[in-house]
């Protein structure tokens, strides 16, 4: 894949674009997952033979074919692609070919530098992994979450530890050199020694990037309901100890932290886009959002039927500088070492970062952040002191601030 930009007198650099494809299907409704709270279980677990799932794939293709000409006419050049969900790897070979075919017909993907597909271990096999590579994916993200079978059952996963390890090894054997695995620490009742065993095993696998998420007790999830009923309990101090221990172990093995939860190299460029607004993005599918030309476009989660009936339309179209979106953007940016760059923010939203931060709701959020960590504001932008990122994030999760900002942003 070419990564060389145009050079020489008069050369014009096309605006880069991230293409996101959402696959809103899973084999289970995990007890911790906040993405699936709005999705009816019957829709989430649709099989390839059902008419609604078939209509969804057709609608996804139609949406790509509808919006690609406008994006191309505005000069956008895809640089990053990410298929997520849900569980992108749950698609059949025919479904994958239908969607990749539409993307290749409508976009010039020759400048992609990162193309990620996300999946769960039980939905991966060598044939499918080889198709992913042949389709142009050069990065894979596998939702492992834990290598402890008891923990996996408790959080509602349908794979076991052996399947998770097999999936990682099969991905490497299929030619993936850029492999991420997702892990979670800080579950209710999870002690540091369980986290240590998980990390020590993880670093023995052919993985170059780790996403180690502190558990977040989001409203609507099974685990949050258990906490409210008193059948489980969250110890914020223990969560922080677990995360710091995982971070230190990974650092000893050469996996440096560049954002809260993200370790290793190369960095995940798609997440950098969302967290730091480094380029515009187009989201295809039910539950996907887009940031195009200063507008935030959304197809709501859980609205599979509406999307499949009218994929040309977005459910909402909002200015990117709207206060609830600024809350969302800054909450994510402050989990990164770099934070939010002022010039980039203005370029993406059409409004100065200083003016956006004066909105009452945004100012209140920043005041709460500053009470939990050292907030740095200067001409460059806004960020947290590196040593305070994890503690601020984890303690704020406990009061639902970040969860509230994400729900407001859709």
Produce one character per residue of 133-152: b if its CB has 16 or more CB atoms within 10 Å, e if not: eebbbbbbbbbbbbbbeebb
Residues 246 and 108 in one domain: yes
Report pLDDT for 407: 43
Q: What is the CATH number of the domain that holds 28?
A: 3.20.20.70
Give tens-digit pLDDT for 242-256.
Answer: 999 999 999 999 999
CB 306 within 8 A of CB 366: no
Residues 157 and 242 in one domain: yes
* Number of domains into which the chain is organized: 2
Report pLDDT for 320: 98
User: Worst-scoring range by mean pLDDT, 184-188, 280-284, 384-388, 397-401?
Assistant: 397-401
Query: Is residue 6 predicted with pLDDT exceeding 60?
Result: no
Query: Is residue 11 predicted with pLDDT exceeding 50?
Result: no
CB 194 within 8 A of CB 152: no
Q: What is the mean pLDDT of residues 262-276?
A: 97
Query: Is residue 205 predicted with pLDDT exceeding 60?
Result: yes
Residues 88 and 182 in one domain: yes
Give tens-digit pLDDT for 61-101.
Answer: 999 999 999 999 999 999 999 999 999 999 999 999 999 99
Identify the DSSP state of 336.
B
Report pLDDT for 229: 84
Q: Is 286 part of any domain? A: no
Residues 231 and 84 in one domain: yes
Q: What is the mean pLDDT of residues 344-369?
A: 96
Q: Is 4 part of any domain? A: no
CA angle 306, 308, 312 (to 5 degrees): 90
The phi, psi pair for 379, rounded to 5°, reads -60, -30
> Which residue has tokens 């076991």?
160
Residues 219 and 101 in one domain: yes
Residues 31 and 160 in one domain: yes
Range of the domain at 245: 16-273
How much is the pTM? 0.93
Residues 260 and 350 in one domain: no
Q: Is 160 part of any domain? A: yes
Q: Which of 209, 238, 273 is the last residue before a domain boundary?
A: 273
Q: What is the mean pLDDT of residues 211-229?
A: 89
Q: Is 143 part of any domain? A: yes
Residues 204 and 340 in one domain: no
Report pLDDT for 36: 82
pLDDT band (50, 70, 90) for residue 400: low
Query: Is residue 42 predicted with pLDDT exceeding 70?
Result: yes
Report pLDDT for 37: 84
pLDDT band (50, 70, 90) for residue 409: very low
Percent of the chain with pLDDT over 70: 94
Q: Is 192 part of any domain? A: yes
DSSP calls for 179-218:
EEEEEEE--TT--HHHHHHHHHHHTTSS-SEEEEEEP---
Residues 334 and 201 in one domain: no
Nearest C-alpha neighbor of 186 from the set 229, 226, 245, 231: 245
Report pLDDT for 3: 33
Q: Is 2 part of any domain? A: no
**d(C-alpha 50, C-alpha 57), whole Å:** 11
Report pLDDT for 237: 92
- 371 Cβ contact partners less than 8 Å away, ≥ 6 residues apart: none
Query: Is residue 404 predicted with pLDDT exceeding 50?
Result: no
Give tens-digit pLDDT for 139-180.
Answer: 999 999 999 999 999 999 999 999 999 999 999 999 999 999
3-state secondary structure string across 3-59:
CCCCCCCCCCCCCEEEEEEEECCCCCCCCCCCCCCCCCHHHHCCCCCCHHHHHHHHH
More confident residue, 239 or 12: 239
Query: Is residue 4 predicted with pLDDT exceeding 90?
Result: no
Residues 210 and 92 in one domain: yes
**E strand or H helix at 67:** helix 51-73
Report pLDDT for 170: 98
Q: Is 179 part of any domain? A: yes
Residues 147 and 226 in one domain: yes
pLDDT band (50, 70, 90) for residue 228: confident
Residues 52 and 137 in one domain: yes
Q: Is 43 part of any domain? A: yes
- 3-state DSSP percent of the chain in helix, strand and coil, to 5: 45, 20, 35
The radius of gyration of the chain's CA atoms, rounded to the nearest angstrom, is 21
Q: What is the mean pLDDT of residues 23-32?
A: 94
Report pLDDT for 9: 42
Identify the DSSP state of 338.
S
Q: State the burial class of residue 344 (Cβ atoms within 10 Å of its Cβ: 0-12, 13-18, 19+).
A: middle
């Amino acid at each position: 894949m070419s990564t060389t930009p145009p050079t020489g007198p008069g050369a014009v650099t096309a605006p880069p674009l991230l293409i996101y494809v959402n696959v809103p299907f899973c084999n289970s409704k995990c007890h911790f997952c906040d993405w699936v709270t709005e999705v009816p279980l019957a829709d989430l677990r649709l099989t390839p033979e059902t008419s609604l799932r078939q209509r969804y794939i057709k609608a996804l293709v139609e949406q790509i074919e509808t919006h690609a000409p406008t994006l191309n006419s505005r000069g956008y050049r895809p640089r990053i692609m990410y298929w997520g969900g849900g569980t992108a790897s749950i698609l059949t070979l025919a479904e994958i070919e239908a969607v990749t075919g539409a993307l290749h017909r409508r976009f010039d993907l020759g400048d992609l530098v990162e193309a990620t597909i996300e999946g769960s271990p039980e939905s991966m096999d060598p044939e499918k992994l080889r198709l992913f590579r042949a389709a142009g994916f050069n990065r894979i993200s596998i939702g492992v979450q834990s290598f402890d079978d008891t923990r996996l059952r408790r959080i509602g996963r349908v794979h076991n530890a052996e399947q998770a390890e097999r999936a990682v090894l099969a991905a490497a054997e299929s030619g993936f050199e850029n492999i991420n695995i997702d892990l979670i620490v800080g579950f209710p009742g999870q002690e540091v020694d369980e986290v240590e065993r998980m990390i020590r095993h993880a670093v023995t696998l052919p993985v170059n990037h780790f996403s180690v998420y502190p558990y977040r007790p989001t409203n609507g999830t099974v685990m949050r309901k258990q906490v409210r009923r008193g059948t489980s309990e969250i110890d914020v101090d223990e969560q922080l100890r677990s995360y710091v221990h995982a971070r230190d172990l990974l650092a000893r093995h050469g996996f440096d932290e560049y954002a809260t939860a993200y370790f290793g190299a190369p960095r995940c460029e798609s997440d950098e886009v969302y967290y730091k607004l480094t380029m515009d993005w187009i989201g295809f599918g039910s539950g996907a959002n887009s940031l195009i030309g200063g507008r935030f476009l959304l197809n709501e989660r859980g609205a599979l039927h509406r999307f499949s009936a009218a994929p040309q339309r977005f459910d909402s179209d909002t200015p990117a500088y709207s206060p609830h979106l600024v809350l969302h953007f800054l909450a994510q940016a402050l989990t990164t070492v770099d934070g939010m760059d002022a010039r980039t923010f203005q370029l993406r939203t059409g409004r100065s970062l200083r003016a956006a931060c004066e909105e009452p709701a945004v100012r209140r959020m920043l005041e709460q952040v500053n009470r939990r960590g050292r907030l740095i504001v200067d001409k460059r932008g806004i960020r947290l002191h590196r040593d305070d990122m994890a503690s601020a994030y984890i303690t704020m999760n406990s009061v639902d601030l970040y969860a509230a900002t994400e729900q407001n942003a859709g």
